[in-house]
Amino acid sequence: MSHADFAALLPLLITSTAAVILMIAIAIRRNHKAAAAISLIGLAAALASLAAASSILPRQVTTLFILDSYSFLYMAILLFAAAFVFLFAYDYLKCRREQPEEFYLLVLLATTGAMVLAVSRNFASFFLGLELLSVALYALIAYVRSESISIEAGIKYLVLAASSSSVLLFGLALIYAESGSMELWQFTTAMSRTAGRADSLLLMMGLMLVLTGVGFKLAIVPFHLWTPDVYEGAPLPVTAFIATVSKGGMFALLLRWFHVNSGALAGAPALVLSVIAVASMLAGNLLALRQTNVKRILAYSSIAHMGYLLVALLAGGALGAPAATYYLAAYMVTILGAFGVMTVLSGPRWEAASIESYRSLFWQKPLLAAAFTTMLLSLAGIPLTAGFLGKFYVLTAGASESRWVLLFTLIASSTIGLFYYLRIVVVMYAQPADPDTIVDAHTLPLPLPAALALVALTGLVLLLGIYPASLWDTIVAVTRDLG
Amino acid sequence: MILPSLVLILIGGGIASGIAARRSVVVARWIAVASVLANLSMCFGIWMAHLDRSQSSTARWFVECDFAWIPQFGIRIHLAIDGLSLALLLLTYFLGVMAVLSSWTELQERVGFFHFNLLWVLAGITGVFLAVDLFVFYLFWELMLVPMYFLIGIWGHERRIYAATKFFLFTQLSGLLMLVAIIALAVLHHQSTGVFTFDYEQLMQTALSPRTARLLMLGFLVAFLVKLPAFPLHTWLPDAHTEAPTAGSVVLAGLLLKTGAYGMIRFVLPFFPGPSHELAPIMMTIGVVGILYGAVLAVGQTDLKRLVAYTSVSHMGFVLLGVFAGNQIALEGAVVQMISHGISTGALFILAGLLQERMHTREISAMGGLWETMPALSGAGLVFAMSSLGLPGLGDFVGEFLVLLGAYRANVPLTVVATLGLLAATLYGLRFAQNAFQGPNPHHWKLPDMRPREWAVLGLMMACLLWIGLYPQPVLKTVRSSLAAAQQRALPQEIVRR
């Protein structure tokens, strides 16, 4: 390995080093502020190294990693998301009795895992990244040990994620047995194979098993059953982390290796993915309708949003990958903002999860309610928000490739989705009935780091919704060489 | 620059009014009135400047402005005004002022946020009437929904949440279908020419196979028919109109419904001339069914606002009939009907608001003999009821007459059936006037008559209706050239015959 190889790997090296330093720092002396500072500095340094190393791209480092502008863009998105999770987590953890320092350590490790997923080009690095992410998440989900619901969610995730990892591993083994190669590009060829040619049974089975593992991480139907429980049980910053970094890393891998830029998707995998996309969009939105817990609503809505992402992925063509990337970026900004508002409204002993805890929020904290409304409208895809342009790009990508079934499912299901987003909005704007029924949470002071993060995220949602041109150009340039 | 400022003044005015209300409610109201009046005077200026030129000049738009926005997809902030949009904008700002004035005393809670939403709805409507880039059009189309949703959902009556959600879901689903149609049109244009654009005039030139054209037209048509609303898609309307606060009802009935008709004239007819000719008999039938259905149901209503809501369904049936009759006279009639319906129905909703403010009920059976305690208000009510039933000399008559005149050329049986709608209209109009204002006063109401502010609002609206009823020529002259442009592509042979 040359110096340039190390330079290209710097972002990964820096985040893992930050984790090690933090571990040592905790061993010497526990200090919440120092832990948060070390992790944020680590993330910032990793971001800076991304900028510094961008001149030597693209570069393949060993057979494991492919570092190009695509993976750098995704790593930047993941790092930003992790930073926002830290900002929200700081005050959340401060007012709880748990020891907060290890939270940062675990998040750093999990972020490294997600970044490895974004850069991997080989089965080995794929699996390593996945496990690094999952193992850290087991602990993170059960982080607040005083809550039994949190521990239950952790165990649930542990069992399911472990078994899905083994299914994935088996699938990889089958593919290796058939082809004798551990390169991920085999997925791309399998996806674009012409319909006439018979696929080898082993390869197809392997591919399906891999899709099971990937689908579990993304929480798409029928691998979604863990989502609502884990979203509900995990501490809010961790939920935000699962919704963004964990899914984002896996989606980066899926988009890179399952997406076909030129030529049509064909064969069994495309059919399976289409069915999964349709089922995810419909099931996610329908199941969310009757929920009264905002965390569960957002869990089901995330299933639907992953379905929308799959539409862009399946559309392929010149617009498919950029549209999916834009949608994912928009979704991550939005959902971080939504969970951010929820975190800010959570007290030391409870979380603002029930829909009732938002009753007449607008009349007590108009700005916070306006931010939450912006996020919900962006999730629903109303113009001038990031979510709308994301949806517009996905629709355009689908229409260019004439994927009408997927598009009409998207339209129908996002109308269903609008209903439950509006339910939350309605509650927020309801008239306060009595002065003494004001929810306690609305009197909490607003912590500074979280407030800054919320301002930034709301600004980003509006910016991405009003001025998409520069980000879109970047994304198009970055995704040009895929598949 | 004048066109973007029309939108920006309302957006800025909304924010200013929202902030000002923390200090003083009256200031907030005046800011709202001032910003709408500023727009009204600007539009008046454009009207005066272009009133005479509209016949001679060859330029399609009076004023236009064009900025790049999302260059990768050829999306431009392209706003333009012609006679049709000018007429509708004048209506928008006139009714906007009336809406603010009519809620002056009725609305006492959360005044700042109310005016913020009201002005933002108006901004969205302005954008819809101005946009000639289809993406921007869709954007404003959606954008006017959100503040309207809040207007109904926060300040509405008993079943407001249900009504607001139903309204939003109906329009959102149909709007998304239109978005797909817009995108598909742009993609087809891209595939045939290699240029990505959402520009009105360029997309109009897209070559489409008849089958594609028919499908795309359905996408547009669904959105506009829901908004209009046409018969089977109208069910959101009675709920939304009834539950909305007065200003909300005025904006809904007076303006939001007009965006549907505007979309058909502006987009459906010129974009899809062939399919709109094919579908014309069906659309005209739907229109006639709407006329009769709305009128018959209005006869049976006991809630005053619900009654007026169903008359809207009936009147919008005339608009649909006129738009698809396929000749200039009917089209002009449809536009006059849109404007006069906006004023007369808006006035009826304001009247219902005044009655509810005084009596705390909307039930017609609870009224009766109001003339002896409120002669002026009852007199005004009679005038607007007469206008709504199509009394000659008032605005609605001109519209309905022209529509029927034009439709008669296209389809005699349908026109004859549509005329029956006027009969039912007489029934509901007279029944309302009779039961509410005439006769004995069984409930012994003692109520204050109209105040000067209310006089001004209803008086101005009456004057406008009389003006359109007696001398509709300025309106017709303003919209004629843009209607001809819409028609030209729709039915070339008609133009030759005229």
B259 has a pLDDT exceeding 70: yes
Write out the DSSP string of B370-435: GGGT-HHHHHHHHHHHHHHHT-TTSHHHHHHHHHHHHHHHH-HHHHHHHHHHHHHHHHHHHHHHHH
Q: A199 vs A131, A179, A192, CA distance in Å?
A: 30, 12, 11
Q: What is the pLDDT of residue A262?
A: 64
pLDDT at A375 over 80: yes
**Among the partner residues A382, A399, A415, nearest to B183 by beta-carbon distance:** A399
Tell me the average pLDDT across B5-25: 90
A469–B72 CB contact, under 8 Å:
yes
Give the DSSP letter of residue B131. B
DSSP A346-364: --SS--S-BGGGGTTHHHH
pLDDT, tens digit (0-9, with 9 covering 90-100), for A54-107: 888 788 888 899 998 999 999 999 999 999 999 999 989 988 877 888 999 999
pLDDT at B89: 93
| Whole-Å CA distances, A154 to A111, A227, A343, A427 | 18, 12, 19, 31
pLDDT exceeds cutoff 80 at B308? yes
> Model-level pTM?
0.92
Rounded to a whole number, what is the distance in Å from the CA of A405 to chain B's nearest CA?
12
Please judge whether B72 and A382 are an interchain contact, meaning their C-beta atoms are less than 8 angstroms apart: no
User: In B, which residues are within 8 Å of A407 by CB distance?
Assistant: 180
- pLDDT at residue A423 above 50? yes
On whether any CB of chain A is under 8 Å from the CB of B107, the answer is no
Residue A53, CA distances (Å) to A56, A88, A127, A352 in order = 6, 29, 25, 42
Residue spans of alpha helices (H) in A68-147? 69-94, 101-119, 123-141
Work out the pLDDT band at A209, boundaries 50, 70, 90.
very high
DSSP tag of A183? B
Task: Give me A76's structure tokens.
Answer: 């930047």
- Give the H/E segment covering residue A442: none
Q: How far is Cα B91 from Cα B276, in angstroms, rounded to an integer?
A: 27
User: Would the CB atoms of A426 and B110 count as touching at under 8 Å?
Assistant: no
E strand residue ranges, B29-74: 63-70
Identify the DSSP state of B265. Answer: I
Q: How far is CA B401 from CA A427, B333, B406, B479, in A?
A: 47, 7, 9, 17
pLDDT digits (tens, 9 = 90+) for A18-55: 999 999 999 999 999 999 999 999 999 999 999 888 88
Question: How far A122 CA lies from chain B's nearest CA (Å)?
Answer: 34
Cβ neighbours of B150 in A, within 8 Å: 429
Which residue type is seen at A57?
A: L
Highest mean pLDDT among B133-137, B323-327, B372-376: B133-137
Q: Is the per-residue pLDDT at A431 higher than 80?
A: no
What's the Rg (C-alpha) of chain B?
22
For A399, the closest of B139, B142, B184 (CB atoms) is B184
The pLDDT, as a whole number, for residue A391 is 94
Residues in chain B with CB shorter than 8 Å from the CB of A408 are 180
Contact B187 A396 (CB under 8 A): yes
pLDDT of residue A439: 61
Closest residue in B to A422 (Cα) is: B165
How close are the terminal C-alpha atoms of chain A, in Å?
A: 27
Q: Which chain B positions have a beta carbon within 8 Å of A476's beta carbon?
A: 72
Q: Shortest Cα distance from B298 to chain A (angstroms)?
A: 30
Q: What is the pLDDT of residue B9?
A: 92
**Chain B: closest CA distance from residue A302 (Å):** 20
Name the residue among A201, A200, A458 with its Cα closest to residue A340.
A458
Q: Please say if the pLDDT value at position A440 is more than 80.
A: no
Q: φ, ψ for residue A342 (rounded to 5)?
A: -65, -40
Task: Tell me the nearest-neighbour CA distance from A358 into chain B, angstroms.
Answer: 15
Name chain A contacts of B69, Cβ cutoff 8 Å: 469
Judge contact between B58 and B98, C-beta under 8 A.
no
Q: List chain B residues with CB under 8 Å of A382.
A: 142-143, 145-146
Dist CA A37 CA A39 (whole Å): 5
B14 chain-A contacts, CB cut-off 8 A:
none
Cα of A128 to nearest chain B Cα, Å = 38
| A47, amino acid identity | L
Residues contacting residue B246 through CB under 8 Å, at least 6 positions apart:
B99, B102, B103, B106, B349, B350, B352, B353, B356
Torsion from C-alpha of B396, B400, B403, B405, nearest 10 degrees: -130
Percent of chain B with pLDDT strictly greater than 70: 96
Q: What percent of chain B has pLDDT over 90?
A: 46
Pick the residue from chain A with its C-alpha nearest to B160.
Answer: A426
The reported pLDDT for the residue numbered A351 is 83
- Taking an 8 Å cut-off on Cβ atoms, the answer to whether A399 and B109 are in contact is no
Phi, psi of A291, rounded to the nearest 5 degrees: -75, 150
* pLDDT at A353 (0 to 100): 86
Number of A/B CB contacts below 8 angstroms equals 67
Q: Which of A214, A215, A242 is nearest to A228 (CA)?
A: A242
Q: Are A447 and A344 in contact (CB under 8 A)?
A: yes
What residues in B contact A472, CB-CB < 8 Å?
70, 72
Mean pLDDT of chain B: 88
Predicted confidence at residue A437, as pLDDT, reads 57
Residue B497 banded pLDDT, cuts 50, 70, 90: very low
Judged by average pLDDT, the poorest of A270-284, A340-354, B4-18, B257-271 is: A340-354
In which band, very low, low, confident or very high, does the pLDDT at A198 lie, cut at 50, 70 and 90?
Answer: low
Nearest CA in chain A to B140: A383
| B77 three-state secondary structure | strand
B187 touches chain A (CB under 8 A): yes
Average pLDDT (B57-62) is: 72
pLDDT tens, position by position, B17-42? 988 888 888 898 999 999 999 999 99
* pLDDT, position B92: 93
pLDDT tens, A304-316? 999 999 999 988 8
Q: Which of B 139-158 lie inside 8 A of A, CB atoms?
A: 139, 142-143, 145-146, 149-150, 153-154
Facing B142 at nearest CB: one of A382, A407, A408: A382
Task: Give the nearest partner residue to A422 out of B138, B142, B168, using CB atoms.
Answer: B168
A chain contacts of residue B110, beta-carbon cutoff 8 Å: 363
pLDDT digits (tens, 9 = 90+) for B208-238: 888 899 999 999 999 999 998 888 888 999 9
Q: How far is A162 from chain B (nearest CA, A)?
A: 41
The distance of A75 to chain B (nearest Cα, Å) reads 25
Question: Quick one: pLDDT at residue B105?
Answer: 81
pLDDT band at A442 (very low <50, low <70, confident <90, very high): low
| pLDDT for the residue B484 | 83
pLDDT at residue B54 is higher than 60: no
Q: How far is A193 from chain B (nearest CA, A)?
A: 25
